[in-house]
Structure 1
Amino acid sequence: MKRNVILLATAIAAIGSCNEADTSKTPPTNDSSQVKTSTADNKYVNQPLVTHIYTADPSAHVFNGRIYVYPSHDTATGTPENDNGDHFNMMDYHILSMDSVGGKVTDHGVALHIKDIPWAGRQLWAPDAAFANGTYYLYFPVKDKKDVFHIGVATSKTPEGPFKAEKEPIKGSYSIDPCVFKDDNGSYYMYFGGIWGGQLQRWNNNKYDSAAQLRKPAELAILPRVAKLSADMKSFAEPVKEIKIIDSTGKLYKEKDNDKRFFEASWMHKYNGKYYFSYSTGDTHNINYAIGDSPYGPFTYKGLLLAPVEGWTNHHSIIEKDGKWYLFYHDIQLSGKTHLRNVKVTELKYNADGSIQTVHSQK
């Protein structure tokens, strides 16, 4: 995001060190020569997980005791920049994995390419993954051939892929940034949506209107979406619902409250029986969090989870591994360019009352 950031009070040395990627199984990429391989910059609390390609929007999960990260793969396509994000013209996904935070990171190569998605047009944006039915599912947003974002699904028998895409997007899906959350009872929910280039403003009551506009400052802010997944993990079990993010008095935020209202990058995790919905505010560059008692919300705003990073966007995920919690995110340390980002990780800490200590990514 555009604003620079401040400092992180605590960080562990293993996270702060730059991890070297095992690329023995990784085919050459068309942007590798442009990636700065030196990360010797002391102003950053944490260093990129990999430096041989550009990565962003990390959705992290623990599968079979190993951490798998499902990021976007940024490349220098030369597409002009605009507010709709056309310069984020990603073509494929590379999946990263590691035994533990601070350990060696493996790039498993191309897991899914846009040319192998039958209905895809352009812009393969931030993905997520889940495991069920003995199968790994990769969920991804991409514009169809009419330039409308929908969410697709691909499957594999291994967490690193390669993945095979379904022939059509998930029926009833739209917009961007899928996050798939497994609740304690085994139910799976997909959270999604993003305004501006993510096109969420074009969808009202789950109907598409190409002429729909962004909300005016005094109007209620556009809300994120959720739907329970069917047992096959390839369809919605119910109509898509809006998620309410409210203040301490129970009121919804307005568009002018753009340091707190939803923009994109949904993530859901559970801590001490509570549901934590976190998200990006986009043009004000915060990652905020809100807490609720149901996977459907409402979620009461609690505070700033991650202060603005270097670069325009931010997109995060949260996991627990070996008794510690970790926050994955991205910035632009390697390139200095908004559309060429790099994934990082840091420890996440909770206070006794369940609130989260704000993370700052620069010293």
Structure 2
Amino acid sequence: MGYKNPVISIQGMDHGDPAVCKYNGKYYLYHTGPREIRVYESVNLIDWELQGIALHASDDPDHWAQIGLWAPEIIHENGTFYMYVTAALMNSDGSENDDVRRIGVATSKNPLGPFTLAPQPLTDEWSIDAHPFKDEDGTYYMFYNVRNEYTRGPNGVIGTGNVVDRMADLTSLSGNPTMVVKPEHLWEGNKDHSFFWNEGPFVLKRNGKYFQMYSAGFFGDDTYGVYYATSDTPKGEGGMEDTSWSKWGDGEPILRTNEACLGPGHHVVVKGPDGVGDYIIYHGYEPGENVRERRVRVGRFRWNGDNIWLEPPSLDTLPTPTMPTFDGRFLPSISQINEQLLKHMYENYFFETNVRTGGKSASGDACYVDEANAVRWIIDPKEKTVKIYAVKGGEEMANNTVALQANFNEEAYHLFQVEKRGSVLKIFLNKLLVAEVDSGFSEGKGIVRVNEGKVAGTILTKLP
């Protein structure tokens, strides 16, 4: 089976700046809209169904978010969904006031919404394209786009650039932005070189190095594409003149216009249904349409060593994103999930589920050989700890106990992941590494079990 791009294409509608949030085994996609943010749902990243409106602009004449809801990005933390979105004030004729365009946040308890806008924006200057990034220590940073004297392009021509600020919490910034990238080359602007863009940030971390992907050029034609820069730190100390980030390949694009897509860009990267493969979700124009409507596309993302490779736009049928070896995302009970997991004993695997404790302990086996040889985990909301311990020959050999966050929500689902390679297991809770355990089992193969708690979105993928 396969698919063809674009995966979302509705005549008469622009689907610019798509972003995807994965939650409990499903994907939710949001995109730019004049006065509303639509939300689509999928289980495979390819087949999307419109679910309705997640966010409406405010009708309050004094509110910061009256029109121009641009580039939403959504995260889930501790039971709350946070949508970071750009909005503008409305002129008296109903048009957007581009001089007063700022980033703010809206929240919901459901990925479908409705989201409620905060009364005040996060930024007090012209700003768009918010991207929240969670570092390995749990610190959140906001990467976003600004237009000021520091972001001018070649020959001092007006332009936009990406900056980063540490988030004080998920609804406020520290207020000390630092430069990440700004236009440096003539190809990062429109064809008459009267305006330049570096925008649409998305950040990944690999082997201790930070990678900020971004879009450059004019979003309305074939100059637009995707690029990236690297740094040893997410936020330098040089303020708006910081030079911690360096553009890869002297600013060469890694995704560009071809016969299949005009102006590809403004993307996110998301794990596929197997929890292992990476995919880029981006927008672009159909070359033959001649309408100002961007379509949603999906492509493969890969690491070539420490370099990023993106699948070029194609007119061909592409392979459907890889499904997990065991797909228990929508099985209703732990007993049914465990019954199927018993059939999957591997030396190397990736396991993912979402756990809700509901005021009680949740537990399971990250690797089970037999009753005397296992690696076990317990999330205890009363003790406010997560404990990881290995049992070998009937004796407890290792014990890692980590404190849960102080405001741990017992009624929320929390992402729990295990990566096993040989005898070594890495265990993550809400994308943070909780423990790395060497079980020391002479037999490398094992199974995964869930013993107590409520779970959703459970998958197991065999690794090579």
Do both proteins adopt the same fold according to a TM-score greater than 0.5, normalized to the shorter chain? yes
- Name the counterpart of 1:47: 6
* 1:152 corresponds to 2:104: yes
The 5 A counterparts of 1:66-85 are 66-73=26-33
Per-residue deviation, residues 103-123 of structure 1 (Å, max 9, x unmatched): x32222111112357323432
- Cα drift, residue 178 of structure 1: 0.7
| Structural mapping, 1:61-210, within 5 Å | 61-73=21-33, 90-102=34-46, 104-116=47-59, 118-145=63-90, 147=97, 148-172=100-124, 174-193=126-145, 200-201=146-147, 203-204=148-149
User: Match of 2:217?
Assistant: 282
- Return the alpha-carbon distance in structure 1 between the equivalents of residues 159 and 187 of structure 2: 8
What RMSD, in angstroms, separates the aligned Cα atoms of the two structures? 3.0
Return the match for 2:184 from 243, 247, 254.
Answer: 254
C-alpha spacing 1:55/1:335, structure 2 compared with 1 (3 Å)? farther
Please tell me whether the aligned partners of residues 262 and 287 of structure 2 are also in contact (alpha carbons under 8 angstroms): no
Change (3 A) 1:123 1:311: farther
* Offset of residue 171 of structure 1: 4.3
Closer/same/farther in 2, CA of residues 319 and 299 from structure 1, 3 Å limit = farther
Say whether 1:308 aligns with 2:238: no
Structure 1 counterpart of 2:165: 227
More relative contact order in 1 or in 2 (CA 8 Å, sep 6+)? Answer: 1
Count, aligned residues: 282
How far is the alpha carbon of 1:55 from its aligned partner?
A: 1.4
Give the CA deviation at 1:346.
1.3
CA pair 138-334 structure 1, distance change in 2 beyond 3 A: farther
Structure 2 CA distance, aligned partners of 1:165 and 1:220?
A: 31
Larger relative strand fraction:
2
The letter for the 2-side match of 1:241 is T
Give the CA deviation at 1:191: 0.9
- TM-score w.r.t. the length of structure 1 is 0.69
User: Alpha-carbon deviation of 1:61?
Assistant: 2.7
Which one has a bigger Cα radius of gyration? 2
Once residues 336 and 347 of structure 1 are traced to their aligned partners in structure 2, the CA distance between those partners, rounded to angstroms, is: 25
> 1:294 matched to which residue of 2?
233
Give the partner amino acid of 1:235: S
**SS in structure 2 of the partner of residue 169 of structure 1:** coil
Matched-pair contact (CA < 8 Å) for 1:220–1:254? no
- SS state of the match for residue 263, structure 1? strand
1:236 to 169, 173, 184: 173
Letter of the structure 2 residue corresponding to residue 91 of structure 1: R
Describe the superposition over 1:136-190 as per-residue Cα deviations: whole angstroms up to 9, x where unpaired. 0111111135731111111000112110111121144531111111112211111
Q: Which runs of 5 or more structure 1 residues have no equivalent in the other structure? A: 1-12, 18-45, 74-89, 194-199, 206-212, 246-252
How far apart are the structure 2 equivalents of 1:334 and 1:308?
Answer: 9
Unmatched segments (≥5 aa) in structure 2: 92-96, 190-195, 237-243, 316-464
Kept in 1, the 8 Å contact 2:255–2:264? The answer is no
Q: Give the 3 Å change call, closer, same or farther, for CA 312–350 of structure 1 in structure 2.
A: closer
Distance 1:113 1:348, change over 3 A: same
Paired position in structure 1 for 2:449: none
The normalised TM-score by structure 2 is 0.55
Q: Distance in 1 between matches of 2:197 and 2:204?
A: 17
> Partners in 1 of 2:44 and 2:300 — Cα distance?
12
In structure 1, what is the Cα distance between the partners aligned to 2:108 and 2:199? 27
Report the AA paired with residue 226 of structure 2.
I
Letter in 1 for 2:257: P
The alpha-carbon deviation at position 51 of structure 1 amounts to 3.4
Cα distance in 2, alignment partners of residues 218 and 257 from structure 1: 15
1: CA distance, partners of 2:127 / 2:136 = 27
Structure 1 counterpart of 2:301: 348
